[in-house]
Amino acid sequence: MKAVSETAQIETKPGDAELVESFRRGRMAAYEELFDRYSARIYGYIRRLTSDTALAEDFTQEVFLRAFRELRRLPGPINFAAWAYRVATNLCHDHFRRMARREAAGPPPSPASEDAERELLRREQAARLEATLSRLPLDYRTALLLKYVEGLSYRQIGAVLLLSEGAVTSLLYRARAEMRRLWDKERSLES
């Protein structure tokens, strides 16, 4: 009989901080691992926030392009997940601000293109919950998605939104209350 190996080799995955440091030292496989870990989550977060799959694809690429360019230059240890969600959140918020300025400054879109866009949004927002979520103010929607879809802790959400844990607690309380109010209103309209 052959002897059993003296030590069982257990493969452990490096943490995000280790991967960032490894990437800073020039190891591309570390960057690829970060991409593999977070690209689908970042994409889903952006898609739910914007209700636009093409925009979510573009912004997800932008998040990881920025990671590639900036991670080597940022000082000290980095919480990659919080950093990536912060970049994604900023991209979305900037997009919504630009859209609001365009609507205020420019002529309204043609009715035909507006109807086609609404139909596309209706198909993407088939679930009633997602439709209700999309009616929330952006800061509420952002907080709820980070907590309940992305599974971030209050501390991590605070890092993404640049808020204290107490402020995150308050924001989530208000967001849940507004979500409940909109949900109940929608239900009463259906009756």
Proportion of the chain above pLDDT 90, given as a percent:
48
pLDDT at site 137: 92
Pair (18, 48) in one structural domain: yes
User: Closest Cα partner for 48 from 136, 109, 111?
Assistant: 136
The two structure tokens encoding residue 40:
């689908």
Residues in contact with 154: Cβ distance below 8 Å, sequence separation at least 6, in sequence order:
147, 165, 168, 169, 172
CATH number of residue 144's parent domain: 1.10.10.10
Structural domain contains residue 120: no
Average pLDDT, the chain: 82
User: Considering the domain boundaries, does residue 3 fall inside one?
Assistant: no
Assess whether pLDDT exceeds 90 at residue 157.
Answer: yes
- Amino acid 59: pLDDT: 95
Q: Range of 188's domain? A: 127-191
Mean pLDDT value of segment 46-67: 92
Interatomic CA distance for residues 101 and 154, integer angstroms: 32
Place 133 in a pLDDT band, splitting at 50, 70 and 90: confident
